[in-house]
Structure 1
Amino acid sequence: MKIMLVFPPKGFTSKEMLPPLGLAYVAAVLEKNKYQVEIVDALVENYSWNKLKKKFTEEKPDVVGITALTENRFEVFKTAEIAKNSLPNSTIVLGGPHVFHTAQDTLEHIRPVDVIVRGEGEYTMLELCNKLKNNEPLDDVNGISFRKNGEIIHNKPRELIRNLDELPFPAYHLLKFEKYNFKLDVPGKGKLRAASIVTSRGCPFHCVFCETSLVFGKRWRARSPDNIIKEIEFLQDTYNIKALWFNDDTFTLSKKRIIDFCNLLIEKNIEIYFTCSIRVDTVDKELLKLMKDAGCYKIFYGVESGSQKILDDVVGKRITIKQIRQVSKWLDELGIIKNPSYVISFPEETYEDAMKTLQLMKEIGGEPSFSFLKIYPGTDVEHIARQKGILPKDFSWSLKSSMKEIETIPIVHGNAPIFRDKLSWEEISEIAVQWARMRKYPLAKKIPSILKNLKSREDLERYLSIFKAYVKSFLKRDKTVGG
């Protein structure tokens, strides 16, 4: 049986690409069980739709697995359609975060899709392929949704993988690794060839906007330090990787694990520079210093809002502004680059709340990340958006016609809906422009990409609002400078 795992073309415009680790993990488990597997990253290989169709017809896989994100879901659906038209007797499978809470909606509206894998895909996909190979019913494959006699069936969820160390490393050899040009800019070292690693899954917290605990569970599971070190050594030896992005939601959830991991890096004299994500309530200065000594040069941490009221009553973050300031101070003292992350346009957030976020952003400094609140399936934000009419009652995640009634910013967030409640677009634009000026973000240079990605008159109006705020900001600055 031939299996092709696909990351769809189009959908994203980033110039620096990372390997699709989810597909690579699924491929590794399938290969370990003697299946013939191919990964097609149609995005990094810059496939046209015609080239993708040709790939399907030439290779003739028995199973096509496609990973789906909310941002690129329509490219996913088109990929599924091309696959089914090219391979009518093959099984088309969707997996990934987007379909976890949209299985019913997707199977109702996207006819080319035969099966949906919900949640962690490694062992679900393996069992599914075993059943398909032996022409057996799918009724007892936990973690899938599918059609049977015209009815949509949702099998019970699959248990989460308890021991992540039992998984093989991602099947890097099935990727055209030389095409991934991801680099990290390390002070004093320049831009280094980099990769990403996932060392844990799940999250015990439940932030209003986040889908991690929904897809990967509230029970946090982690790889051992020894297991992580082996993958780092493999990446260094095989692909000359000099820097890493630990792509965990919270790398520091277990203090002991990070202490053991950092000590191992130091003891083994492994020279690797890394960046990671933390929560401000999971670190102290001593731990941060050890991380710095082991090679950590930058840390991403979710501030979300400068309003304690929003953090407490809306986000459910369970951190304080005082903790944020303290950790920021420690990072400055240790010489670790700060990468605080901010979000605006939360439910019930006022202009006054948003200005508190902007003020805190300016106070903390560093290299702040900034985004508008996005709506993801199954999250509390989605439920609130439906209650408030931000998403219409008949909104479908699978129909393009539903996109006419929601707000998006395609150049930034793809096809993910934007949650906008109390703030006007003029107010949102003002804050976005001030962030861009802080980061010296070249908004003017983005105009060609913006025009290329326009999908509606409403998109144009939103971009014009941002552009007006941009011009107004510079006129105000010039007037101030001129006296």
Structure 2
Amino acid sequence: MKMNILLVSCKKLDWMQDSKGTIPLASLYLAGSLRAAGFNPIIVDLNLHPVQEGMSIDESDFQVLQKYIHETDPLMVGFNCFVSQHFPFIMKASDHIKSYNSKVHITTGGSHPSLFPSEIIQNCPSIDSVAIGEAEEQIVAMAQALAADDTTRFSGIQALAYRVDGQVVKNPRVNYISDLDSIPQAAWDLINLEDYYADHTGWHNPKNLEIKVSIPIPTSRSCPFSCNFCACHATMGRMFRRRSPKKVVDEMEYLYKEFGMNYFGFIDDIVNLNKEHLIGICDEILARKMDIQFEPTCGLYLARVDEDIAVAMARAGCTFARLPIESGSDYMRTKIIGKKLPRENIFYAKKVLKDNGIRVSTMSIMGFPEDTPETLQETYDLLLELNADLNYVFNLIPMPGSRVFDQALEENLLLSHFDATNLWRGDVELDPVQSEQQYHLKPRNMTLDELDVFREKFNKIRIMNPELREQLFKENSIKNLPSHALKMQEGMLIQAGR
């Protein structure tokens, strides 16, 4: 019986090339579930395979995949579609695989396929199924059905799109995984963490640890809120679920003791929605006497930041916290974006974090349809008054699946060409990291020249902390400011990795 399953991570896109690579956490969790069910998962991270001389990137990757498939004869090949722009490669790679192995089952999952499952099955004959949203349960059930040579079992798998006699079948999701502790631990031993080591000079490192890599750790899933630029609900739904503090720190301790990992990033959309949960994690870290540092990668829920949380985080080793302000305009933040965040919460959160020795950055977005010179000036003024260590102001990226994307399509505000009927193809030019050099949407009442004026103003207040500015330029490490502080829109992230 075939038991091998390939889990493929695609190459970094051009705008990702400054980073060493992203630990394929989604694949590691899927691998953990598959292994617990008796299968043999194999991680194929194409980033670790250099382009062969005389070949294009795609040709080289096709050859790598063909070698793996020839050597392992897998039951299934699963592609993680980390961002929409990966999907064109996944289509071509699937066609290539089917050209020499028509029997192997090809599946894909992630944020992009979860938005367009029926369209993908309808238009991509080489892709046999799409796992919609979190996929630990689906991939095990699919593997069991394929191993038994009985794909009629697919009809009983929730949140799955597939093909029967040429017709698209899309099974609805009945529920999300409510008990996250029941998910087997990620199969960390299937990768060599040294492959992901990078230069972390310039990171805030008060313990002076040797930081080799920031390990992504999920402590919860989903977000119950509804900001207009976010599409995370496409993969994780809106029901907030959390792992127990013990399970979270069990995983951290395993990585700490077995591999010497000492820096962790909590990759939750909203890590401190439940105050006791985050404090419980901090208490577990302290109880186990782990000499580590960590940070909440996607930002804190500022309405729940208080002295208790700041003290607990600082004592447990938190070095850095992000304040997702989104806009300095109360009207924009609360009425348009949908973030019910009073101004006083922003200033209080910054104060208690800084008072406890935690470095603070802000994250804001410019270029919403309703933005005006006045609303952007309010953001600029708030950032000056707040005086955080770092300020990241990103040009709005209207992600498919978000309300602002639908609004921009309807009002014809997009600057790039989008064929709304073919968004499933992934041919979208949305570059999260280079968002400060390009605009994807024009506000109704602003010119692009006016946007340029504010872009220049915001860039000048990127580094507010004089000590940090001197340190970074002295060490020539400005390029190594934490790249994960660049807030890729949540809708483009599959629960794992950055």
Q: Taking structure 2 as the reference length, what is the TM-score of the superposition?
A: 0.82
For residue 215 of structure 1, the aligned residue among 223, 235, 254 is: 235
Greater shift after overlay, 121-130 or 277-286?
Answer: 277-286
Tell me, yes or no, if structure 1 residue 70 matches structure 2 residue 115: no
Asked if the contact 2:75/2:147 (under 8 Å) is kept, the reply is: no
- The Cα shift of 1:10 comes to 3.7
> Of the two structures, which has the highest relative contact order with CA contacts closer than 8 Å and spacing of 6 or more?
2
Match of 1:150? 166
Match of 2:67? 58
Asked if the contact 1:262/1:291 (under 8 Å) is kept, the reply is: yes
Match of 2:312? 290
- The Cα shift of 1:421 comes to 2.8
Determine helix, strand or coil for the equivalent of 1:286.
helix
- The Cα shift of 1:411 comes to 5.9
- The Cα shift of 1:283 comes to 1.6
Structure-2 change in CA distance of 1:190 and 1:34 (3 Å): closer
Deviations 1:152-209 (A, max 9, x none): 2111114211111111211111123211125454135166123110110011111111
Tell me, yes or no, if structure 1 residue 314 matches structure 2 residue 327: no
- The Cα shift of 1:249 comes to 1.2
Determine helix, strand or coil for the equivalent of 1:269.
coil
- The Cα shift of 1:135 comes to 2.1
Tell me, yes or no, if structure 1 residue 424 matches structure 2 residue 447: yes
Structure-2 change in CA distance of 1:319 and 1:245 (3 Å): same
Match of 2:396? 373
Which amino acid counterpart does residue 83 of structure 1 have in structure 2? I
Q: What are the residue-to-residue correspondences of 1:53-452 with 2, within 5 Å?
A: 53-60=62-69, 61-68=74-81, 69-136=83-150, 137=152, 138-182=154-198, 183=200, 184-187=203-206, 189=208, 192-193=211-212, 194-276=214-296, 277-364=299-386, 365-390=388-413, 394-399=420-425, 403=428, 408-409=430-431, 412=434, 418-422=440-444, 423-439=446-462
Which amino acid counterpart does residue 275 of structure 2 have in structure 1? K
Deviations 1:402-428 (A, max 9, x none): 65xxx64476269x9934333433333
Determine helix, strand or coil for the equivalent of 1:157.
coil
Over the matched positions of the two proteins, sequence identity in percent amounts to 23
Determine helix, strand or coil for the equivalent of 1:368.
strand
Determine helix, strand or coil for the equivalent of 1:264.
helix
Asked if the contact 2:78/2:108 (under 8 Å) is kept, the reply is: yes
Match of 1:34? 38
Determine helix, strand or coil for the equivalent of 2:161.
strand
Distance 1:54 1:92 in 2: 17
Greater shift after overlay, 72-81 or 249-258?
Answer: 72-81
Which amino acid counterpart does residue 65 of structure 1 have in structure 2? G
Asked if the contact 1:272/1:295 (under 8 Å) is kept, the reply is: yes
- The Cα shift of 1:78 comes to 3.3
Structure-2 change in CA distance of 1:411 and 1:335 (3 Å): closer
Determine helix, strand or coil for the equivalent of 1:439.
coil
Structure-2 change in CA distance of 1:332 and 1:394 (3 Å): closer
Asked if the contact 2:87/2:425 (under 8 Å) is kept, the reply is: no
- The Cα shift of 1:395 comes to 4.1
Structure-2 change in CA distance of 1:210 and 1:191 (3 Å): farther
Distance 1:284 1:85 in 2: 58
Structure-2 change in CA distance of 1:282 and 1:85 (3 Å): farther
Determine helix, strand or coil for the equivalent of 1:186.
coil
Asked if the contact 1:142/1:155 (under 8 Å) is kept, the reply is: yes
Distance 1:424 1:131 in 2: 56
Structure-2 change in CA distance of 1:328 and 1:438 (3 Å): same
Distance 2:356 2:191 in 1: 37
The two structures, once aligned, show a CA RMSD in angstroms of 2.6
- The Cα shift of 1:241 comes to 0.9
Structure-2 change in CA distance of 1:385 and 1:84 (3 Å): farther
Determine helix, strand or coil for the equivalent of 2:88.
helix
Distance 1:39 1:300 in 2: 32
Distance 1:319 1:352 in 2: 19
Deviations 1:305-338 (A, max 9, x none): 0111111211111111221112112222222111
Determine helix, strand or coil for the equivalent of 1:262.
helix
Distance 2:432 2:273 in 1: 33
Match of 1:7? 9
Asked if the contact 1:66/1:80 (under 8 Å) is kept, the reply is: no
Deviations 1:363-417 (A, max 9, x none): 32322223222222322122212211246564422347x65xxx64476269x99
Structure-2 change in CA distance of 1:158 and 1:64 (3 Å): farther
Determine helix, strand or coil for the equivalent of 1:38.
strand
Distance 2:257 2:308 in 1: 31
Distance 1:81 1:357 in 2: 48
Unaligned runs of 5+ in 2: 52-56, 464-471, 480-498
Structure-2 change in CA distance of 1:84 and 1:367 (3 Å): farther
Distance 1:353 1:73 in 2: 36
Distance 1:224 1:410 in 2: 32
